[in-house]
């Protein structure tokens, strides 16, 4: 990029007439920021480039296609598809949703999260469990989980983590159950399924890692979660189509960001501090502003070398302390369903598992027991007979190290065991995600871990340098799902964070005459 012509002064800041903005990462946060900068008031004045490490746009929004079937490798649902949700708004505008999702009544449903439809619960001893018992344990778990959201801004919390809070309450509750020991064990095994499901929702290995106090800060929007019939990536493609061609540079793995006074540019008016971004291939880019949308997993791994000068200590601490875990999906296609047509989720209770006991330690022998459940993908006319298993945590990361054959063999054995049918046909196809192995993500999404809080999210989102003012521009801005205090871990949180940082620059330049973004 050429050095910018110099515009008017605001305080001591010599504003460039056409500020150069580099966006790092072409996920929904990065593309959302580019879209806002370039199309705001239809003024295409900002000089915007997006540097993307991989060969594709979309990041954690990733749709795979196999024989005309759509597999969401990353984001699955629009959580809370209603007026306040910008992803829902965009998807509606681009005509990407079906009539059910667009219905007013769908947008008004208040379900508080992702509701589970009719389910069947198998057991590791080959019996289907009574829906009544499963439902009563589901109700107990959801009631306690709802309670655990009530400690936001409380000076004292009854336990450090959501897991410990739930376990204490359950231990108390068990004492009051009138059941015999065997029934109690069965109920605890069922309750353990809900712990695993919630690990997937929070993207964590264990609920013992999720901080109790801030848990209720995550905000749920109304609306019954919906999917994109033709794939989530359609949204990314529509955003891309509205951006100028060639704006995204691919295979540009950003290695170091020089900020503060570490990069001085020769300008017509003398030396001026800018930002320089160096990529792994040695190419460098100079800019007035950088918007970073790097996943928290990548920041955790590279925080010590990514910035020159290093990040301020409190920002380093926020990156270390916030949580970022793995949630993977395993899609399994069968020739024939072994489940009932209306069934929406298959669960498995494992004998002797209990939230009150230590989880099995031998990953190799038991990793598959961590699968929280298998969603039946509907309708069958679109998906065929397809299950999607969700698995979080260390077991999920272990699963990534196995071959397809090892995973298929293990899961075929599981299905044969729990259905009591040793002849059950193995799945004919499998597609799975491996988010922890992805060097540019290193996991799935963020959560507020024990020893961190919502303030850490805000700290992460603060621009650099720290003393940004009307006369001192933000050099490095931080966006991405992990920087949204109430919608972290979602696509709408990511999009809003990208818009937030684009707006930060737009507002800064509004104060500087003749230098419009």
Number of alpha helices (DSSP H) and beta strands (DSSP E) in the chain: 16, 23
Residue 331: CB partners within 8 Å, gap ≥ 6? 71, 377, 386, 387, 388, 389, 429, 430, 431, 432
CB of 129 or CB of 199, closer to ligand 6YU:
199
Q: What is the 3-state secondary structure (H, E, C) of 344-404?
A: CEEEEECCCCCCCCCCCCCHHHHHHHHCCEEEECCCHHHHCEEEEEEEEHHHHHHHHCCCH
Q: Which of 441, 452, 502, 506 binds ligand 6YU (CB under 6 A)?
A: 441
Scan residues 82-111 and list those touching ligand 6YU (CB under 6 A).
none
Cα–Cα distance, 226 to 88 (Å, whole number): 9
Q: Is 435 in the site for ligand 6YU (CB under 6 A)?
A: yes
Which of 445, 478, 508, 509 touches ligand 6YU (CB under 6 A)?
445
Nearest to ligand 6YU of 123, 396 (CB atom):
396
Closest CA to 52 of 284, 253, 285, 233: 253
In degrees to the nearest 10, what's the CA dihedral of 209, 214, 220, 225? -10
Answer yes or no whether residue 161 interacts with ligand 6YU by CB under 6 A: no
Stretch of 14-22, 75-83, 257-265, 466-474 contacting ligand 6YU, by CB under 6 A = 75-83
Q: Which of 107, 490, 508, 517 binds ligand 6YU (CB under 6 A)?
A: 490
CB–CB of 285/331 below 8 Å?
Answer: no
Tell me: does residue 26 bind ligand 6YU (CB under 6 A).
yes
Contact flag: residue 436 with ligand 6YU (CB under 6 A) = no
494 binds ligand 6YU (CB under 6 A): yes
Tokens linked to 37 = 């900068």
Stretch that binds ligand 6YU, among 173-181, 184-192, 342-350, 439-447 (CB under 6 A): 439-447
Q: Which position among 23, 28, 186, 459 is part of the footprint of ligand 6YU (CB under 6 A)? A: 28
Helix or strand holding residue 502 (H, E) = helix 491-510
Among 433, 453, 476, 508, binds ligand 6YU (CB under 6 A): 433
Closer residue to ligand 6YU (CB): 10 or 494: 494
Q: Is residue 110 exposed (0-12), middle (13-18) or buried (19+ Cβ within 10 Å)? A: exposed
Rounded to a whole number of angstroms, the minimum distance from the CB of residue 128 to ligand 6YU is 26
Q: Is 194 in the site for ligand 6YU (CB under 6 A)?
A: no
Of 16 and 325, CB closest to ligand 6YU: 325
Round to whole Å and give the CA distance between 257 and 415.
49
Per-residue contact flags (x/-) with ligand 6YU for residues 224 to 253, judged by CB under 6 A: ----------------------------xx
- Residue of the chain from 59, 325, 427, 473 that contacts ligand 6YU (CB under 6 A): 59
Preceding peptide of 173 cis, ω within 30°: no
Rounded to 10 deg, the angle between the 86-93 and 233-241 helix axes is 70
215 binds ligand 6YU (CB under 6 A): yes
Interface positions with ligand 6YU (CB under 6 A): 24-30, 51-54, 59-61, 74-77, 79, 201-202, 215, 218, 252-254, 293-295, 298, 327, 329, 433, 435, 440-441, 444-445, 447, 480-481, 489-491, 494
């Amino acid at each position: 990029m050429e050095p910018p012509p110099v515009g008017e002064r605001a305080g001591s800041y010599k504003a460039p007439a056409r500020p150069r903005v580099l966006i790092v990462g072409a996920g929904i946060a990065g593309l959302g920021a580019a879209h806002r900068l370039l199309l705001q008031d239809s003024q295409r004045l900002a000089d915007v480039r997006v540097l993307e490490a991989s060969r594709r746009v979309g990041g954690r929004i990733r749709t795979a296609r196999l024989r005309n079937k759509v597999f969401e490798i990353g984001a699955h649902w629009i959580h809370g598809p209603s007026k306040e949700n910008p992803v829902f708004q965009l998807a509606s505008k681009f005509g990407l949703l079906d009539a059910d999702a667009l219905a007013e009544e769908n947008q008004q449903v208040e379900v508080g999260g992702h509701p589970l439809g009719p389910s069947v619960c198998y057991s590791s001893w080959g019996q289907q469990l009574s829906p009544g018992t499963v439902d009563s344990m589901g109700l107990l778990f959801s009631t306690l989980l709802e309670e655990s959201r009530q400690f936001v801004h409380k000076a004292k919390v009854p336990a450090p983590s959501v897991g410990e809070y739930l376990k204490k309450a359950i231990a108390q509750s068990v004492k009051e159950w009138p059941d015999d020991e065997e029934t109690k064990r069965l109920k605890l095994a069922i309750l353990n399924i809900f712990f695993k499901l919630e690990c997937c929702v929070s993207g964590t290995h264990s609920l013992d890692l999720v901080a109790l106090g801030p848990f209720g800060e995550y905000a749920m929007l109304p609306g019954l979660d919906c999917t994109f019939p033709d794939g989530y990536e359609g949204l990314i493609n529509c955003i891309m189509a509205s951006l100028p061609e060639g704006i995204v540079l691919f295979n540009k793995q950003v290695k170091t960001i020089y900020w503060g006074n570490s990069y001085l540019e020769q300008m017509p008016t003398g030396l001026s501090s800018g930002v320089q971004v160096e990529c792994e291939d040695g190419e460098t880019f100079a800019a007035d502003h950088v918007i970073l949308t790097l996943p928290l997993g990548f920041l955790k791994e590279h925080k010590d070398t990514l910035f020159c000068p290093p990040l301020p200590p409190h920002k380093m601490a926020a990156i270390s302390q916030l949580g970022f875990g793995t949630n993977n999906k395993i899609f399994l296609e069968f020739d024939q369903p072994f489940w009932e047509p209306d069934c929406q989720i298959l669960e498995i209770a494992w004998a002797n598992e209990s939230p009150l006991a230590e989880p099995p330690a031998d990953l190799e022998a038991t990793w598959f027991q961590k699968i929280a459940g298998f969603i039946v993908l509907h309708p069958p006319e679109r998906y065929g007979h397809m299950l999607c298993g969700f698995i979080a945590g260390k077991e999920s990361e272990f699963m990534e190290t196995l071959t397809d054959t090892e995973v298929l063999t293990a899961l075929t054995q599981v299905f044969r065991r729990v259905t009591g049918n040793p002849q059950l046909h193995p799945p004919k196809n499998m597609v799975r995600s491996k988010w922890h192995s992805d060097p540019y993500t290193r996991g799935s999404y963020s959560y507020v871990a024990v020893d961190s809080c919502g303030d850490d999210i805000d700290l992460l989102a603060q621009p650099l340098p720290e003393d940004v003012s009307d006369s001192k521009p933000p050099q490095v801005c931080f966006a991405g799902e992990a920087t949204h205090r109430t919608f972290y871990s979602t696509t709408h949180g990511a999009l809003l964070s990208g818009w937030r940082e684009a707006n930060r620059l737009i507002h800064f330049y509004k104060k500087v005459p003749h230098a419009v973004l």
